[in-house]
Amino acid sequence: MLTDRAQNDCALTIQLCTYNRAHLLGRVLEACFDQTLAPDQYEVVLVDDGSHDDTPAVIERAKALATCAFTAIRQPNGGLANARNTGIAAARGERIAFIDDDVLPTPVFAAEHLRSDAKHGDVVVRGAVINTESFDALPPPVWSLRNYSANWFWTSNVSVRRARLDAVGGRFDESFSEYGWEDIELGLRLRAIGTKAVFNRRAVAFHYKPRPKGTNVAGMLRQVRAQARTAVRLEQLHPSWRVALAIGDTTPQRLLGDALRRSPLVGRLERMVGTPDEDERLSTVRLAAARLLASAAYYDELARAKRA
C-alpha cells in the first residue's frame, strides 16, 4: 500500500508533456480530468515544451475545466527528457503515471494504476495502449494481443512510485535531446536495481495513430534518423545484447539493414511513395513503401552515428 501522505501530497500524478499538439491536447486533458478516482487523490502536471501553436490558449481553457489539481508549466523547448524532468520536479504524487500528449486515458486509468499498486506494491505498472486513428471513433477499451508491446517502460502508459524513481536518480537522461529511447533508458536503470513490473490490461489509454499522409513522409524520415542517433547513445550507456536487439544492432539486423539502405530498391520506393506534398492518406502499398524507406533511413543514420 502507499504510505500516509502529507497534507499537500496525493496518491497519483498524471504527468504529460506537449509540443505543438493543440489539436489533441484539449481532449487529452479533458480525459485526464474525467477520472473515476476521487479528485483529491490525484493531480495532473503538464509541461508545455515551448509550443508555438494554440497550446497556451488550450491550457487556459483546460484550467476552467479541471476537476483535480492541475499544474501547467511553460518552458523554452528543451526536448522530451528535459520536459519530463520539469514535470517530475513539480509532481506531488507518490506514484507518477506518464502519458503523452497524443494519449487519451480512459476514465478508470488512474484508479487502475493505483489498484495495481495496492495489489503488487512497489512495481512498475504497465498500462494497456490501444492505437486509434481518431479520438472521435474509439474502438472498445479492450486490450488484446494485437495491441501488444514489448516495451518494458513506455511512457505512453506507465507508472512508477516516486521513491523508486528517486532510487535511480529521479530523472530522465537529458543527453537524449532528440526523439527516442529516453523512456527505455530509464526503464533499464529501474530493471538494474531489481524493479519488477506488472501489466494491467484494464488501465487502458488510446494512442492517436492516424494513417500517414504524403505530407508526413519527410517527418517520418527525420524522426527515424533522430531515433537512430539516440539509439547509439542508448547502447553506449547500456551495452548488452538486449539493447542491441532493441535498436536493431545485432549482426543479422545490421546485414539486412545495410542491404536495404544500399539497394537500388530505395529509389523505387521513393517513386512509389510519390509527391511529398500530397495531403491525402497513403494507400496500403505506399504506406508499406514509406515504412521500408524509413527502415533504410534508420540504418543509414545508425551506421553514420556509430562512425561518429
Q: What is the DSSP pairing of strand 197-208 with strand 103-105?
A: antiparallel
Residue 212 has what pLDDT? 86
Domains detected in the chain: 10-208 (3.90.550.10), 214-307 (no CATH)
Decide: 77 and 52 in contact? Cβ < 8 Å.
Answer: no
Decide: 127 and 43 in contact? Cβ < 8 Å.
Answer: no
State the number of CA atoms in the 13 A half-sphere of 192 facing the CB. Answer: 15
Residue 3 has what pLDDT? 41
DSSP letters for the chain: -PPP--TT-EEEEEEEEESS-HHHHHHHHHHHHS-SS-GGGEEEEEEEES--SSHHHHHHHHHHH-SSEEEEEEE----HHHHHHHHHHH--EEEEEE--TTEEE-TTHHHHHHHHHHHH-SSEEEEEEEEES-TTSPPPS---GGG----SS-TTSEEEEHHHHHTTTSS--TT--SSS-HHHHHHHHHHHTT--EEEEEEEEEEEE-PPPBGGGHHHHHHHHHHHHHHHHHHHHHS-SHHHHHHHT-SHHHHHHHHHHHTSTHHHHHHHHH--TT--SBPPHHHHHHHHHHHHHHHHHHHHHHHH-
Per-residue pLDDT tens over the stretch 73-122: 999 999 999 999 999 999 999 999 999 999 999 999 999 999 999 999 99
Say if residue 278's pLDDT is above 90.
no
Mean pLDDT score across all residues of the chain:
93
Per-residue pLDDT tens over the stretch 27-37: 999 999 999 99
Torsion of CA 13, 17, 22, 27, to 10 degrees: -30
Chain position carrying cell 542491441: 244
Residue 213 has what pLDDT? 85
Strands of 197-208's sheet in order across: 69-75, 42-49, 10-18, 93-98, 158-161, 124-132, 197-208, 103-105
Residue 112 has what pLDDT? 98
Per-residue pLDDT tens over the stretch 181-233: 999 999 999 999 999 999 999 999 999 999 888 888 888 999 999 999 999 99
Provide the 10 A C-beta neighbour count for residue 240: 10
Per-residue pLDDT tens over the stretch 129-165: 999 999 999 999 998 888 888 888 999 999 999 999 9
3-class DSSP string for 112-159: HHHHHHHHHCCCEEEEEEEEECCCCCCCCCCCCHHHCCCCCCCCCCEE
At residue 298 the predicted structure's pLDDT band, cuts being 50, 70 and 90, is very high
Say if residue 46's pLDDT is above 60.
yes
Residue 272 has what pLDDT? 86
Q: What is the DSSP pairing of strand 103-105 with strand 158-161?
A: unpaired
Q: Give the pTM.
A: 0.92
Grid cell locating 291: 515504412
At residue 276 the predicted structure's pLDDT band, cuts being 50, 70 and 90, is low
